[in-house]
Structure 1
């Protein structure tokens, strides 16, 4: 599918924010790991969360869903023995379930996206699992990956957090179910600590006990615990909403977004602070976030590790700011669905933006009068790239044609429908 994005001066209206993908996937897993029945209200529907639904069902969870909620009867620490699991292109789902799969005798995670998820490394989690009496067969850390489990052991576990915090989250979901107590030490650095905070939030809600150091680098997890069946309510999603907020920021706009909590633990809530520093007027009224854009933005310097999944949308806004913006500590963007630094910057340059890349930085020389556009560009099968390029297309002089735009469904299937409802001039061609 191609998205033809045409210049758009004004966005206005109200939309119900997408439900949080990160919380949905974590609640689904916590519910599956319980031995009773849990209810999740307003779960997200995306390729990622649907992959988690599919895989926990394959592992033995019972799921019933209507328009408001999903009811899940879990398998606890006794999943059904399955030979294969297909997570599609969902990296977080793969990583979370690699640990859960150690409760099965033998599971192979198949490689159905060789040019995307199939290229991403998982060595750090594999090394941690091998410390736990688990054998893993893999292709230099990449898919297909076969887990030979059945009897994982707790104890002292070391895991690197330098590439992704998802490896740590994966272990945190598994270790409470093991017979032994566990201590997890995070080596090197820990990327996206705020996302680990979401994992810990869900574990607490599920009745799991643990101790964590102030810097999130050390954990004590008692063994022989059980996940408590619960009722969970999914809040609005800041990572997806960041693109809508950026689109409103670069146009003349008056947009309200429902179900975005001011006290959210989602790291991407920092996108609100980024836009405020860029001169955009935003304010909360209860659980509604209002944004007023007037096309006047100011450049700034931002630590992108605090809001990983909103960085590309904020870079897109910075393309039109007065001055030079710098997004630093973002090297982990290179290990996503595509290389979100090199690939994204290359597409921005085609559109006429003035950007530079370093190993862990994106530097944007803003062009307040807009970019030229008028070109066909590639999204590299990456949902975040698609949404960010759409923002750029709205302020381009000649519009943009974005190829493979259907991949926005990985996290935000309604993205184009929502932005069109606000007045964006976007045409979709299948």
Structure 2
């Protein structure tokens, strides 16, 4: 859409209901388990993202039939018999490559091509290659990188070790594959396991698909009975808590009556903590039947929060804290520094421009709340960062003068409909060339 700036004008009131942005992680997994079932499954509200679109493409190459309309994808699976394809192209989608390297080992000879040599093409996948080789699969590769040729056909279950220290995606790949094999398997994770939360999401989806897996409490050991079949089911993709955090924060800083749907109370997304944090800030909200209903009055109390498990919702929480009474502290958030931009230094610099009173430590953000609002009337640089763009929008709603956000189109990295959704709720936002 070209370089686009956005003006956020003071907006005292938000009202209406939206379906949350759909979760990418769940979409990718549901599309895969639907393809691995015999029969026809339905996935309601699937996300469209680089990963999920790559998964759509590849499961069709492997023999699944996919018919999609505005609200659902209907998928007739190939079960344990993917088509004998020669090549698969996952584009730049790393998770999809890893999940499908496992499934492709059921094909006699398939090559994953290298179409993004400067991005995905630079990332190594050795840990999964080593695990597949333990299962009798031959893998030709370029020092662990694409192009990767898998000569499988008959992977064997049994005792498998896989490292979890680079990515949990290698483990997830084995969890999707091993139930289909004739033998029972025991998977042992070596090293540390990254992103346990996401392994929980994989196990949740497998269970919904009718697969039995016995996991140790720490997710370091798994027993997988062999000769299982994925069942054809109906799935609803849950809402994305990180994206919804910005909408909910906007609702609590204004006078509002806002309903956000498809946010399960029992979600395994760490960012679901945004609801607890807004409650701690005494925002008037209810969370039941997969819906969050905010009746905001703009009044909030300061909060202290360990942001480690909810990293992608912290910027939105900080934006709400800008207008809270008292001093808020978000600690244990150093990994915010290593995202699309330094989400501590860069973000706080822009908040200060808008009139917020904030300070940083190496691993903390401290916010001295200004319940009376901030001045605004400035142009702000969002550092091409989708989360910063959304968080600054929240601040603009309560500024006295409009705020211009540079290059706000980069919000599309995670939430292309963000500004449409905000407009639907009554936010005064407009694009400027």
Q: 1:38 aligns with which of 36, 41, 63?
A: 41
Q: 2:178 aligns with which of 170, 175, 198?
A: 175
**Is 2:365 the counterpart of 1:363?**
yes
Please tell me whether the aligned partners of residues 61 and 75 of structure 1 are also in contact (alpha carbons under 8 angstroms): yes
Residue equivalent to 1:100: 103
**Is 2:207 the counterpart of 1:194?**
no
Shift of 1:144: 4.0
Residue equivalent to 2:289: 286
1:229 to 1:250, Cα distance in 2 relative to 1, 3 A = same
1:301 to 1:103, Cα distance in 2 relative to 1, 3 A = same
1:213 to 1:9, Cα distance in 2 relative to 1, 3 A = same
Residue equivalent to 2:252: 249
**Is 2:361 the counterpart of 1:325?**
no
Alignment of 1:28-427 (within 5 A): 28-80=31-83, 81-88=85-92, 90-104=93-107, 105-112=109-116, 114=118, 124-132=127-135, 133-135=137-139, 137-138=141-142, 144-151=146-153, 152-293=155-296, 294-305=298-309, 307-321=310-324, 322-328=326-332, 331=335, 339-340=339-340, 342=342, 345-352=345-352, 354=358, 356=360, 358=362, 361-368=363-370, 369-370=373-374, 374-380=378-384, 383-395=386-398, 398-403=402-407, 405-427=408-430
Two-structure CA RMSD over aligned residues (Å): 3.3
**Which 5+ residue runs of structure 1 have no aligned equivalent?**
none
1:119 to 1:374, Cα distance in 2 relative to 1, 3 A = farther
Output the TM-score relative to the length of structure 1.
0.83
Q: Render the CA deviation track for 1:61-104: whole Å, top value 9, x for unaligned.
A: 1101223322111222333314241344x443343334333334
Please tell me whether the aligned partners of residues 45 and 71 of structure 2 are also in contact (alpha carbons under 8 angstroms): yes
- Take 1:136 and 1:392, find their aligned partners in 2: how far apart are those partners? 52
- Take 2:124 and 2:393, find their aligned partners in 1: how far apart are those partners? 29
Please tell me whether the aligned partners of residues 380 and 403 of structure 2 are also in contact (alpha carbons under 8 angstroms): no
Query: Mean alpha-carbon deviation: is it higher for 72-81 or for 187-196?
Result: 187-196
**Which 5+ residue runs of structure 2 have no aligned equivalent?**
none
1:223 to 1:421, Cα distance in 2 relative to 1, 3 A = same
Please tell me whether the aligned partners of residues 408 and 415 of structure 1 are also in contact (alpha carbons under 8 angstroms): yes
Query: Mean alpha-carbon deviation: is it higher for 362-371 or for 57-66?
Result: 362-371
Please tell me whether the aligned partners of residues 45 and 413 of structure 1 are also in contact (alpha carbons under 8 angstroms): no
Alignment of 1:2-17 (within 5 A): 2-10=4-12, 11-17=14-20
Residue equivalent to 1:19: 22
- Take 1:163 and 1:127, find their aligned partners in 2: how far apart are those partners? 13
Please tell me whether the aligned partners of residues 349 and 355 of structure 1 are also in contact (alpha carbons under 8 angstroms): no
Query: Mean alpha-carbon deviation: is it higher for 211-220 or for 341-350?
Result: 341-350
Q: Render the CA deviation track for 1:38-71: whole Å, top value 9, x for unaligned.
A: 1223333344323321222222211012233221
- Take 1:316 and 1:38, find their aligned partners in 2: how far apart are those partners? 40
Please tell me whether the aligned partners of residues 27 and 40 of structure 1 are also in contact (alpha carbons under 8 angstroms): yes
Please tell me whether the aligned partners of residues 254 and 292 of structure 1 are also in contact (alpha carbons under 8 angstroms): yes
Output the TM-score relative to the length of structure 2.
0.82
- Take 1:113 and 1:425, find their aligned partners in 2: how far apart are those partners? 42
- Take 2:125 and 2:87, find their aligned partners in 1: how far apart are those partners? 20
SS of the aligned residue for 1:103 comes to coil
Shift of 1:273: 0.9
Q: How many residues align?
A: 417
1:327 to 1:259, Cα distance in 2 relative to 1, 3 A = same
